[in-house]
Amino acid sequence: MPKFYFEIVDGYTIEDPQGMELPTEQQAKRIAEEMAKQIANDVEDGSLKDVVVKTAAGKVIHKTPIKSDSTRNGRGKIQPTPTVIAWTCW
CA 7, CA 88: separation in Å to the nearest integer? 27
- Among 54, 69, 41, which residue's Cα sits nearest to residue 8? 54
Q: Measuring CA to CA, how many Å separate 77 from each of 2, 8, 33, 64?
A: 39, 23, 21, 22
40-74: pLDDT as tens digits? 888 877 677 999 999 999 999 999 999 876 444 44
CA 86, CA 90: separation in Å to the nearest integer? 13
Q: What is the DSSP letter of 39?
A: H
Please state the domain extents for the chain: 3-71
- Among 12, 15, 88, which residue's Cα sits nearest to residue 54? 15
Rounded to an integer, the average pLDDT of 14-20 is 93
